[in-house]
Amino acid sequence: MANIAEFIKTAFATAKEVVIKAPSVEEETVTVIEPSLPQPVYKPSSQVLSLSFAILTGVFFKLYDDFSDLSILPDNHFLMEFFKVAITAFTTLMLLQDFYITVIFLILSIMELTLKSADTMFWRAGILIPAICFLLHLPHFVMPTPTFVLVLIALVALFLFIIYVEKITFPEETSTNKLINRAAIFAGGVLMLYNTGKYSGQPYIPLIGGWTAGYMGIYIITHLFELLTKNAPQPHEE
């Protein structure tokens, strides 16, 4: 009996030792690696401020463009000079936030010069803004993933395609059809702003949305006013 009791005691002691020394099984964690993005040269304190710069850039782009194209004010008027300074300031603040939106604006500026569609000296000289911002971004450049590049190319191609189709379809400066088309583009920009949280991997998309909403919003206001005043009935002459 003594031997049996000693055997049981030894067995329990061995089992206890095995349990203590047994390696603990931890849950396997899966780490999702986000694609690395270049650090911005300038990062606003909030997303609202960031998108505000993009919206204001689009607003002042179109204010200057329409006041010039519709001959509302001469190019050397004080208000026109104010628009130019605002464009320079807000465009710089927007482009310094992201390398890829800087690349997009640089490409568009080169195309404007190449196609000679920049109709004022200010628009021609404006290429300096994305060019300088591009150089400031270069020290922070990080090689993107193939998927990131494909998405960027697809969006730029779509953007250029929309611009090309509109120029062919609506060559006039003001028309009801062009106003409807630009209202649709405005809605697209607002949609990009609304879904800002979904674009953490492509931070340039909300900035493009903000610029588009600001630019097209001013177009709708100024050209709707132009259409209404142009088509207004003339006073009856005796």
Contact 209, 190 (CB under 8 A): yes
The predicted structure's pLDDT at residue 128: 96
The predicted structure's pLDDT at residue 86: 98
Residues in the chain, pLDDT under 50: 7, 15, 18-20, 22, 24-27, 30-33, 234, 236-238
Convert the pLDDT of each residue in 37-47 to its tens digit: 889 999 999 99
The predicted structure's pLDDT at residue 158: 87
* pTM (two decimals): 0.80
The predicted structure's pLDDT at residue 117: 83
Per-domain residue ranges for the chain?
37-230
